[in-house]
Structure 1
Amino acid sequence: MRKFLLQTSFVTMSLCPLFSKAQTQPAAIIDHINQRFEQYTRDNYRQQLYIQTDKTTYLAGETIWMKLYCSILAFGDVPDMSKIVYVEVLNEKNQPVLQQKLGIHEGLGEGFLTLLPTMETGNYTLCAYTKWMQNFGEEYFFKQPVTIINTFEQLSLVDSKQSKKAIIKFATNGGQLVAGVKNFVAYSIKDPAGNGLEASGKIVDNAGNFVTDIKPGKFGIDSFSFTPQSNKKYKALIHFNQQDTIVALPEVKDQGYVVTYSMKDHFTIMVETSMPVGQTYYSTVVQNNGKITAVDVAPVIPDATNPKNHKIHFYFKGKNPIREGVNEITVFDNEYNIVGQRLFFQPPTAKLNITTKVNKSIYGKREKVDIDVATKDSSDQTVPANLSVKVIRKDQLDLNKVDDIQSYHMLTSHINGIVEEPAYYFAGSNNVVEDANMLLLLQGKYSVDWSAVFNTKQPKFLYAPELNGHIVTGKVTNKRTGKPMPNTMVYLSIPGKQVRFFATTSDDNGYISVEVPGYYGDGDLVVQPAPQDSAAQIAINSPYYVHKEQPIFHTTQDVILTKAAVNDLKQRHREMQIQQAFFGDSLTLLAYKGPTDSAAFYGPPDEQFNLDDYTRFRTMEEVFREYVPTVMVRKHSDGLHLLALDKGLNSPKFFDRDPFILLDGVPIFNNKKFFEYDPLKVRKGSVVAHQYIYNNLKVDGIVSLQTYKGDLDGYQLEPYVTVQEYNGLQYPRAFYSPQYDGRSRNNRRMPDYRNLLYWSPNVKIGNDGNGKVNFYTCDIPGEYLIVVEGISTNGQVGYTYTDFKVE
């Protein structure tokens, strides 16, 4: 990766022919920017998440099916190595109502969320992120609007045509108007669901003088330019839905910068300022997804038409710095302070081309459908790929404008809020670039923290990337004083049939961090200090992000439905009830149950014993005296003790200290309780008959016992032990898709009311670029949509769809 970044830096410097080598000041600026950005991208590498879902509107009680894609932003062809993705459903207050941990491998994963039958009707947000992404804030999380309808509630439905609320926004470069300089202003007029509205109006100053007419175009967005005057205020008078609304424009500042660009002949970045200029050079950087494409330095020149103003022009003759997707343009003064920024969209030509072919266009009920899938890269060469395929019935309940993988990677991941019809910006129409750049001015976001780029201090991150498995974090404090307890040994266990035990030591601030790979399913964490530190109080942190209370997509929780959607809603309700009644067991079938490796943390033991192979004794003392030769029972003044044999010596002998005793992976330090425990509850055990070192833990042998269910079976833990419910990774679930032969096809006693006919999140296409999938239709006639999207091995993404009918 470092080598690639160095190559990138070399290329970007070659894009700056404006100055000769003798001009050391511009060259030094270019060198400094390249070096600092290279260091920044190494230290602050950004991940990008995308999730494909089976649909966007659900009934309470249905399942959200998901395919996950995770890549490193600067290197789209490099899969991310994180192992965990955190997925949540957030309500209108940005608070989680469902949470789940999903596993990913080499940047790909799958999972599901089962919506509770009691969930309230409303607009929600599907949110996903990795632990590393939490360092940079939720602005960079994956977010998608979803609507959930509880059909058992009395619904208050609103016809979208009757929506009377308009959300009006004006945006300028830098968030302000600059007096005496031509300003570019974008505006949008939309309803609460993000749909553009038809309206008209005009811009006037505070004296009522006319400036310009406004009338939003496609998706309720348009723009205008004008030169504001000092000491004046401007407002928009907007007429919508037989009502007049007054909206103030951004404040006019006497001094400032305005950044524009032009693609005429060659790409040019133009800066006009009314600021007093006391410096010789300004610099600009163009970067695309974490890669610098150009750095340039330009002198300040007076404005010939207005002596109070100055201009800076950055010319890129024959070297277009604009790359496919969203380009970030940033202009700096000589102290590397940002004076202006703009975003520029270039529609992509390089993509994964996916073609699908069905064997016919009209099918009967319960008939087999065969789909041929082919993948080629942008040079028309076959390419291997990983795809997801869904087949769903078309209806009027598709209430949200969501992305496909291409639009998300190339455009909408750089935008806050809803984008109406993301596919439009990739359709190749004449106004796409202009429309996209207005959208970016209104809702765009920047990915680089330039203050961090030029900060020479090594960054400190609160969250480490989870490269091997989930990381449990917490803090150790003194329960009496509340102060952190540094250098305190902490034992963490996950009781179960597989021995899961971890030991760590708190740092100087009392924090602990334990990596727990391969932990699947629901369970408990048992956390405790060493007995001599029983005054320690251990708090385990939630691994989920603490969201700010703010709406993400919708400004209302109301579900907006057309009257035409009501019949579809009733049919979906019937379908869900019938499917769950007849196929409930099949719908919850797990694909597999996590890893099969059952080896304990200490590796192969020196002795193992299964107590069911022997005559059972009723005391622990008798069990160890009679059946476990590598462990000796000794009676001391304070009661019975175990001593393990040290086979690590040339002449083995028993240790003088107690071994480390585990019950279902939980350390046991109370000998009295241990010897009073009923051995009939213990199924098997193992012994490590030598000294064992694990992190800072050094023990004289290990005795590990396991109960039949792996649940401690009634053993009473000490008061200083913390037990906390803690969910591991989700077990994947197999999507139920019936296979009909001649006999079952005619068995109408088992109704098939699926609206999601097929879901396969992991369709692998080989080197020949060809693949096949098949499924059966259901009993419901209608139009059905096949959606295929995914990523090739060289990082190109693509999306396609086709349809067919069932009669």
Structure 2
Amino acid sequence: MKTLASWLLSLLLFTFHSNAQQLKQIVETISEKFINYSKSHADAALFLHTNKSIFQAGESIWATAYLLNIELEDSLKYNTLMLCLVDPVIKKSFAPQKFAIINGIAQVGLTIPDTLPSGDYVLTAYTNAYAEGKHEKIFKQVVTIRSNTTTFRKTITGTDKKLTAHTYEKEGYKVALAQPKGEDSIITAINIPGSPQNILLCYHDLKKSLEVLAVQMKNTFGQLKIANTGLRPGLQKIELLNTDQKILSDTLFWKEPETIKVKLEIDSAIHSLRSNCHCRISIQDASGKPISAMFSISCSLSKTILPTLPDIRKYYYFEQFLPPSFQIPFYWDYQTTIDSINTLQGIGNWIEADTIAEKSTPFTPITGQVFQNGRKPKRPVSILLLGGTTPVNFQTDNTGSFSISSDMIRSINTSFYVTISGGDNLESYEIQLNSSTDTLNDQIASQPFIFPIPPGNSPPQLYNMPVMEDKTITLKAVTVKSAPNSADFNFGVPFFDKDCNAYVCNHDVWMCTANPVSLHTLTKPIPGKKYFDPKTNTYILYKGCPQDYEPPKFMKSISPIWYAAQFHAPDYRQEKITIPQTNTTIYWNHLMRNNDDGKASFNFYTNDLPGIYKCVIQGITDKGPFCVTKTFEVVK
């Protein structure tokens, strides 16, 4: 751990004691405490960019999960993203799913159950680091879900609870800061009562980088200018400690990040139905030099995007450090935000924390126990895992216990089963599974959730599904009259596939017999979801097949860790779609990269739903995160 000795540029009324053994030992002790504290906390901060805020039951929540504050080589220990929807009133979790994290990025396609009642829910996400015992902050975002079968129940109540300004000062001790314009340095002014004494000056980035300077005061006031080049830009903190390692005074300050200039262009501010939109984005630094970036893109009906949609910049620089019950106001700027969050003392009182050993228990999503005739066996039992490209054989221990690692159950569209392998009298065996994430989800759902009031005490309709105009859309002799509060159609005739041979094509088309199969990505239908049947020109409600139901006791189904399916947007040049397309999200791209010139382009088609649409791009660069938005109108 480096000290600030090499960065000391000028010193007034101070004498630096680099050779004092006592101060050296104290500095080493402080550094060790900070290191241990950092090891017990997850390196990365988890952020999700979702396609919108308001959803219909049966829709998919499309999202990209970013691990912030982390280098690529350190991201390998993050392998699994866990998500669920939490009802904060009854404190229950729904729709748990897991997704694979690859190089610090996860692509999410979370299907909302058709049976979920209307209301406000909390989309909750965490990684395997949290499951392994790390102090990882859980990501939470409010989403509103509408159902055709239940009345909307508003479950999230606002609160005006805010972070109050506070600076820790004890008995006349005070540390204040100034930042010379145009210099990467800070001037620290220190006041102490009584006689001069040894003090310690610590400053850190509230995450994992700490610098310590030991000095001796020759008077009760002094100023110190130091170069601020060792910590990341953003929110930082200076703490004044005595030799007993007690905080005497502290204050937050802001290190200005490098400028990221992002320009998003759409070829026209007004588009017609089913027209092609061409978009361009350029990303540069302050001097106009291209910046390499990774980013996700959503274009959705503006009314479905609430002010609560998380901003990656706000989260990266501020919210990841705040207590779970606090959030930054929706309309914010850097300086007023800094002024309002001086509640942060000692990065969670790290200086007072005991030495914490780093936990290294690997995340195991599934554990199980085999019973034979109601008792644990006294010898290993052969197990077969089905569902991957090839079956996997393994054995339990001598008592019938077994575990399944994350890499064994990753899949794009296939479920997994575990069964007793071979042997006679299979009916005498029973497999019981335990999911570690189910317990964690229940614990998270029981936690209190406080949500701030939207700006200006916004009226409740902000939380409602946008009301569609009562218009008639006519396409090739097919007339559909839109329904208030819904962009989707009623459920169709229930269908049970006894042979388990059904498949679904792009745009939720059942079996796609009306179009060339070669133009489509074929997936397995999801029980409880509706699909358009081109044979009958109606909708059906898929009720599943025998494989979707509970297998015998010696076989258990396992939910996989998904590689998210890609969002399919219609290409009207290639596909003849006669039914009206009224999805409120018309474009989603999990992950895109710009070229060496800092530029990228993308295009998509509007559908048959007129209105104001907003494109939101959020992403990361080596100079920090960025967010940019652009709106356009679709007219008939």
Equivalent residue, structure 2, for 1:668: none
Measured after TM superposition, the shift of residue 392 of structure 1 is 1.6
Measured after TM superposition, the shift of residue 516 of structure 1 is 4.1
2:422 is the alignment partner of 1:524:
no
> 2:522 & 2:610 partners in 1: Cα distance?
34
Three-state SS of the structure 2 residue aligned to 1:407 is helix
The amino acid that maps onto 1:459 is E
Equivalent residue, structure 2, for 1:184: none
Equivalent residue, structure 1, for 2:449: 552
Specify whether residues 471 and 578 from structure 1 end up closer, same or farther in structure 2 by C-alpha distance, changes over 3 A only: closer
2:629 is the alignment partner of 1:801:
yes
Specify whether residues 415 and 145 from structure 1 end up closer, same or farther in structure 2 by C-alpha distance, changes over 3 A only: farther
2:112 is the alignment partner of 1:115:
yes
Equivalent residue, structure 2, for 1:228: none
Bigger shift: 259-268 or 98-107?
259-268
The amino acid that maps onto 1:96 is S
The amino acid that maps onto 2:564 is P
The amino acid that maps onto 1:295 is V
The amino acid that maps onto 1:523 is F
Give the count of matched residue pairs: 557
> 1:103 & 1:80 partners in 2: Cα distance?
11
Equivalent residue, structure 2, for 1:207: none
Equivalent residue, structure 2, for 1:268: 188
Residues 694-733 of structure 1 aligned to structure 2 (within 5 Å)? 723-733=555-565
Deviations 1:505-542 (A, max 9, x none): 489xx8957454353243333479999xx999976342
The amino acid that maps onto 2:566 is A
Three-state SS of the structure 2 residue aligned to 1:441 is coil
Which has the larger Rg? 1
Equivalent residue, structure 1, for 2:129: 132
The amino acid that maps onto 2:115 is T
Is the CA contact (8 Å cut-off) linking 2:82 and 2:96 kept in structure 1? yes
Specify whether residues 552 and 302 from structure 1 end up closer, same or farther in structure 2 by C-alpha distance, changes over 3 A only: farther
> 2:625 & 2:16 partners in 1: Cα distance?
39
Measured after TM superposition, the shift of residue 365 of structure 1 is 1.9
Equivalent residue, structure 2, for 1:543: 437
The amino acid that maps onto 2:144 is T
Measured after TM superposition, the shift of residue 760 of structure 1 is 1.2
2:496 is the alignment partner of 1:576:
no
2:6 is the alignment partner of 1:10:
no
Measured after TM superposition, the shift of residue 374 of structure 1 is 2.3
The amino acid that maps onto 1:86 is M
Is the CA contact (8 Å cut-off) linking 1:376 and 1:769 kept in structure 2? yes
2:614 is the alignment partner of 1:765:
no
2:51 is the alignment partner of 1:153:
no
Deviations 1:313-346 (A, max 9, x none): 7834455777522224445443445566554344
Measured after TM superposition, the shift of residue 786 of structure 1 is 1.7
> 1:159 & 1:537 partners in 2: Cα distance?
40
Q: Which runs of 5+ in 1 are unaligned?
A: 1-8, 182-257, 304-310, 426-431, 595-708
Three-state SS of the structure 2 residue aligned to 1:409 is helix
Residues 440-455 of structure 1 aligned to structure 2 (within 5 Å)? 440-442=341-343, 446=347, 449-450=350-351, 455=355
Is the CA contact (8 Å cut-off) linking 1:492 and 1:526 kept in structure 2? yes
Equivalent residue, structure 2, for 1:84: 80
Specify whether residues 460 and 356 from structure 1 end up closer, same or farther in structure 2 by C-alpha distance, changes over 3 A only: closer
Measured after TM superposition, the shift of residue 776 of structure 1 is 1.2
Measured after TM superposition, the shift of residue 54 of structure 1 is 0.6
> 2:490 & 2:191 partners in 1: Cα distance?
62
The amino acid that maps onto 1:460 is K
Is the CA contact (8 Å cut-off) linking 2:199 and 2:240 kept in structure 1? yes
Is the CA contact (8 Å cut-off) linking 1:147 and 1:400 kept in structure 2? no
Specify whether residues 479 and 422 from structure 1 end up closer, same or farther in structure 2 by C-alpha distance, changes over 3 A only: farther
2:603 is the alignment partner of 1:774:
yes
Specify whether residues 314 and 97 from structure 1 end up closer, same or farther in structure 2 by C-alpha distance, changes over 3 A only: farther
Three-state SS of the structure 2 residue aligned to 1:767 is coil
> 1:87 & 1:575 partners in 2: Cα distance?
26
Deviations 1:650-699 (A, max 9, x none): xxxxxxxxxxxxxxxxxxxxxxxxxxxxxxxxxxxxxxxxxxxxxxxxxx
> 1:158 & 1:512 partners in 2: Cα distance?
38
The amino acid that maps onto 1:437 is I
Equivalent residue, structure 2, for 1:735: 567
Measured after TM superposition, the shift of residue 31 of structure 1 is 3.8
Equivalent residue, structure 1, for 2:203: 286
Q: Which runs of 5+ in 2 are unaligned?
A: 10-14, 181-185, 470-482, 494-503, 510-519, 525-544
User: 1:380 is matched with which residue: 256, 277, 288?
Assistant: 288
Residues 468-487 of structure 1 aligned to structure 2 (within 5 Å)? 471-473=365-367
> 2:546 & 2:319 partners in 1: Cα distance?
47
> 1:55 & 1:786 partners in 2: Cα distance?
10
With structure 1 as the length reference, what TM-score do the two structures score?
0.58
The amino acid that maps onto 1:405 is I
With structure 2 as the length reference, what TM-score do the two structures score?
0.71
Is the CA contact (8 Å cut-off) linking 1:372 and 1:771 kept in structure 2? yes
Is the CA contact (8 Å cut-off) linking 2:298 and 2:616 kept in structure 1? yes
> 1:12 & 1:479 partners in 2: Cα distance?
68
Residues 217-256 of structure 1 aligned to structure 2 (within 5 Å)? none
Residues 392-471 of structure 1 aligned to structure 2 (within 5 Å)? 392-395=300-303, 397-416=304-323, 417=325, 419-421=327-329, 424-425=332-333, 432-433=334-335, 435-442=336-343, 446=347, 449-450=350-351, 455=355, 458-461=357-360, 463-464=361-362, 471=365
Equivalent residue, structure 1, for 2:235: 326
Three-state SS of the structure 1 residue aligned to 2:320 is helix
> 2:403 & 2:314 partners in 1: Cα distance?
40
Measured after TM superposition, the shift of residue 476 of structure 1 is 9.1
Specify whether residues 293 and 446 from structure 1 end up closer, same or farther in structure 2 by C-alpha distance, changes over 3 A only: closer
Is the CA contact (8 Å cut-off) linking 2:117 and 2:147 kept in structure 1? yes
Identity of aligned residues (%): 17
> 2:432 & 2:154 partners in 1: Cα distance?
49
> 2:624 & 2:349 partners in 1: Cα distance?
23
Is the CA contact (8 Å cut-off) linking 1:76 and 1:795 kept in structure 2? no
Is the CA contact (8 Å cut-off) linking 1:578 and 1:751 kept in structure 2? no
> 1:581 & 1:536 partners in 2: Cα distance?
38
2:393 is the alignment partner of 1:501:
yes
Is the CA contact (8 Å cut-off) linking 2:505 and 2:523 kept in structure 1? no
Measured after TM superposition, the shift of residue 86 of structure 1 is 0.7
Bigger shift: 732-741 or 18-27?
18-27
Is the CA contact (8 Å cut-off) linking 1:124 and 1:148 kept in structure 2? yes
User: 1:297 is matched with which residue: 214, 224, 227?
Assistant: 214
Greater RCO (CA < 8 Å, at least 6 residues apart) = 2
Specify whether residues 464 and 15 from structure 1 end up closer, same or farther in structure 2 by C-alpha distance, changes over 3 A only: farther
> 2:349 & 2:522 partners in 1: Cα distance?
41
The amino acid that maps onto 2:235 is V
Three-state SS of the structure 1 residue aligned to 2:2 is helix
The amino acid that maps onto 1:63 is S
Is the CA contact (8 Å cut-off) linking 1:89 and 1:127 kept in structure 2? yes
Specify whether residues 168 and 403 from structure 1 end up closer, same or farther in structure 2 by C-alpha distance, changes over 3 A only: closer
Measured after TM superposition, the shift of residue 464 of structure 1 is 1.9
> 2:40 & 2:447 partners in 1: Cα distance?
30
Three-state SS of the structure 1 residue aligned to 2:487 is helix
Equivalent residue, structure 1, for 2:538: none
> 1:407 & 1:763 partners in 2: Cα distance?
21
The amino acid that maps onto 1:439 is S
Specify whether residues 518 and 87 from structure 1 end up closer, same or farther in structure 2 by C-alpha distance, changes over 3 A only: same
Three-state SS of the structure 2 residue aligned to 1:568 is coil
Specify whether residues 530 and 289 from structure 1 end up closer, same or farther in structure 2 by C-alpha distance, changes over 3 A only: farther
The amino acid that maps onto 2:619 is G
Deviations 1:78-102 (A, max 9, x none): 6445221111111115531121111
